[in-house]
Amino acid sequence: MKTGQEYIESLRKLNLNVYMFGEKVESPVDHPIIIPSMNAVAMTYDLALDPLYEELMTVKSHITGEKINLFNHVFQSTGDLVQKVKRQRMLGQKTACCFQRCVGQDAFNAVYSTAYEIDEKYGTDYQERFNKFLAYVQAEDLVVDGAMTDVKGDRGLSPSDQKDPDMYLRVVERRPGGIVVNGCKAHQTGIVNSHEIICMPTISMKPEDKDYAISFAIPSDSPGITIIYGRQSCDTRKMEGSQIDVGNSEFGGHEALIIFDHVFVPNDRVFLNGETEFAGMLVERFAGHHRPSYACKVGVGDVLIGAAALAADYNGVAKASHIKDKLIEMTHLNETIYSSSLACSYEGSATPSGAYLIDQLLANVCKQNVTRFPYEMCRLAEDIAGGLMVTQPSEKDLRSKEIGHYVEKYLRGVDSVPTEHRLRIMRLIENLTLGTGAVGYRTESMHGAGSPQAQRIMIARLGNLEHKKALAKNIAKIPEV
């Protein structure tokens, strides 16, 4: 397994076609806006080699029997599913941001089990292809980005009915040795820090959508791939050299568009190719795995609760009963997310492939909590911190020979705490609730792994109302007609 530094050096070997602010990024590894997100991924490598964390971060491969990073594993038991949740929280605590590798692991698990069932029906060799790819990823200790979300165009139309057929990723040519694809994947977490991409459909498909029912893996620097880096609030602060103003100066996340312009994919990297009836299964299994992955938000929530508590200390209001109550409420909300993430993992079961899948109903309940609770936690943290978190002067003002003493004097809270410490914790809260950190906490909590309505549809489908009616009739002694 690689160290964090070895991982960073491996990224230097990629010939990525990345654009930011309308210009090509010649060396993504050295760009100040990208470096924090790269550091967060590097942390997943270093902790896997740390004896203190290796139990959470590593596992034995069911393919090779070798010790591997847990992010590159197909779950073989409910214990594996629970281990993932605990790892997510720990990494959220360590980085206070999105560490970007979960989407790839959830893609592995969805494709693995779905490919098995396609093979069972059609006699294809998709799972054999996938196992070969996964063994390569494990042996090289690679980062793989899962790409599910198409740009969708007119959401009232199916993929094959779009005016522009490239609004969903599609096959434009089938050759003897492989396929050629066009389209775009959106909201791509960590793509600039990834060695490989694994693509999946984004919705269920009809027979006429055959060219869109496609899943494959491909190197992130393949010819025809262009990456357009997404903007984040306060992102250019990372280029100013201020540690205080960034809030979380070491770690961060990123999102981007991936453009596929006549990209060739060899057959041995294709895992779904026109079997439209399996597109929905792949989508649901990926979403099911990815929704409890938001246990990472619990770890970030731990940091936010701590920051809010420190802000209360520094402001001199920690003993106020309403402050204590707000911190209790933040803790209650955070642990509720964690408990539902654990619950769907403990209640998981084996698919026909042998890989384990979480309990789908509880996974969707977990993510429904995530679409709400972090927003309330942010509101409470902002309430506790006060307006200074968004009005305070810059670090340059604090360091200024002419005016720094005014900032030092008038922005002090309790006398025992240096002004700089107060300003730092305010900026951290700003980062988590409004700035670049909000991409991996506040806003991502709403739309990551599907919109709130997507979860409600699944909850309605899996809620089993008829069974509940039968229970009520039994208790009420109402005979069946």
- Residue 112's contacts (CB-CB under 8 Å, 6 or more residues apart) are 74, 127, 130, 131, 134, 353, 355
* Catalytic residue (choose from 117, 196, 255, 275): 255
Terminal Cα distance for the chain, rounded? 63
Residue 182 — φ and ψ, nearest 5°?
Answer: -130, 150
Give catalytic status of residue 97 as yes or no. Answer: no
* Catalytic residue (choose from 45, 58, 73, 98): 98
Give catalytic status of residue 184 as yes or no. Answer: no
Give catalytic status of residue 444 as yes or no. Answer: yes
* Catalytic residue (choose from 31, 114, 290, 430): 290
DSSP letters of 120-186? HHH---HHHHHHHHHHHHHHHT--EEEE--B--SSTTS-GGG-SSGGGS-EEEEEETTEEEEEEEE-
Give catalytic status of residue 102 as yes or no. Answer: yes
Cβ proximity of 275 and 118 under 8 Å? yes
- Our CA angle for 381, 387, 392, nearest 5°, is 115
* Catalytic residue (choose from 45, 116, 212, 294): 294
Which residue(s) pair with 257 in the sheet?
Answer: 228
Give catalytic status of residue 98 as yes or no. Answer: yes
**Kind plus residue range of the DSSP H or E element containing 58:** strand 58-60
* Catalytic residue (choose from 58, 189, 202, 371): 189
* Catalytic residue (choose from 97, 184, 199, 296): 296
Which residue(s) pair with 270 in the sheet?
Answer: 216
Amino acid at 448: G
Give catalytic status of residue 234 as yes or no. Answer: no
Give catalytic status of residue 421 as yes or no. Answer: no
Give catalytic status of residue 73 as yes or no. Answer: no
Neighbour-count burial of 156, counting CB atoms closer than 10 A to its CB (0-12 exposed, 13-18 middle, 19+ buried): exposed
DSSP letters of 236-291? GGGGTT-HHHHSS-S-----EEEEEEEEEEEGGGEEEES-GGGHHHHHHHHHHHHS
Active site residues: 98, 102, 189, 255, 290, 294, 296, 444
